[in-house]
Amino acid sequence: MSDATAATSASSEDSWWNDPRVSAYLMILTYIVGGAGIALGIYGLTQGGGPRAVHYSVPLAVGAVGVLALLRHSVFHTSDAGRAGVETEPFYMIELGFANGAIGILALLVFFGGWGVTAEVALLFTYALYLGMAFFIFLARIRSKGFDGGNIFGACMWLLQVGFMFYFAIAAAVAAKISPF
């Protein structure tokens, strides 16, 4: 392999990890998977109320979304930092990925391990609260940079997911008589 070919090959490999489009595609996939989890949760509400909604939504809205966020934030942290406009803080993205991934992996263990409605409610509450608090960081960041169509769409998707997650968790906690509900 010539020096020019090797340089081109190394450059294209670097761009794969640094290209913000990679994390943008993963973000779109996250919206789709999270939306599917919410849709299953809504279906669950019609099939057995809150406990069924939580059970149906946890594997996708928490588990798969958390694992996708781990991949996007931690594996493609440079790409995601570019997408989010925080190029000076790529290690911040790794930490975000670890937090999302820990919750997502635990959600999958809870679901596939059959740990029950109390564990599912606790995880759904945890992730909804985490994402709800993170939303305020997102708002502060885009407020300083200005709103655009992508930010507004992302904010709406984020709020819808968090809102439905809280609703499913509260409905299930009330139905299952989980304290303090």
The larger pLDDT score, comparing residue 79 to residue 40, is at 40
Separation CA 147–CA 155 (nearest Å): 10
Per-residue model confidence (pLDDT) at position 75: 87
Note the pLDDT tens digit of each residue in 92-109: 788 889 999 999 999 999
Three-state helix/strand/coil letters over 78-92: HHHHHHHCCCCCHHH
Note the pLDDT tens digit of each residue in 38-65: 999 999 999 999 999 999 999 999 999 9
CA 16 to chain centre: 22
**Residues 128/165, Cβ–Cβ less than 8 Å:** yes
- Whether residue 145 is predicted with pLDDT greater than 70 in this model: the reply is yes
Per-residue model confidence (pLDDT) at position 131: 94
Arithmetic mean of pLDDT over the chain: 87
- pTM metric for this prediction: 0.84
**Residues 72/34, Cβ–Cβ less than 8 Å:** no
Separation CA 47–CA 77 (nearest Å): 40
Q: How confident is the model at residue 11 (pLDDT cuts 50, 70, 90)?
A: very low
CA 83 to chain centre: 15
Per-residue model confidence (pLDDT) at position 20: 81
Per-residue model confidence (pLDDT) at position 148: 74
- Whether residue 4 is predicted with pLDDT greater than 60 in this model: the reply is no
Neighbours of 21 (CB within 10 A): 12
- Whether residue 76 is predicted with pLDDT greater than 90 in this model: the reply is no
Report DSSP state, residue 75.
I
Give the mean model confidence (pLDDT) for residues 12-34.
82
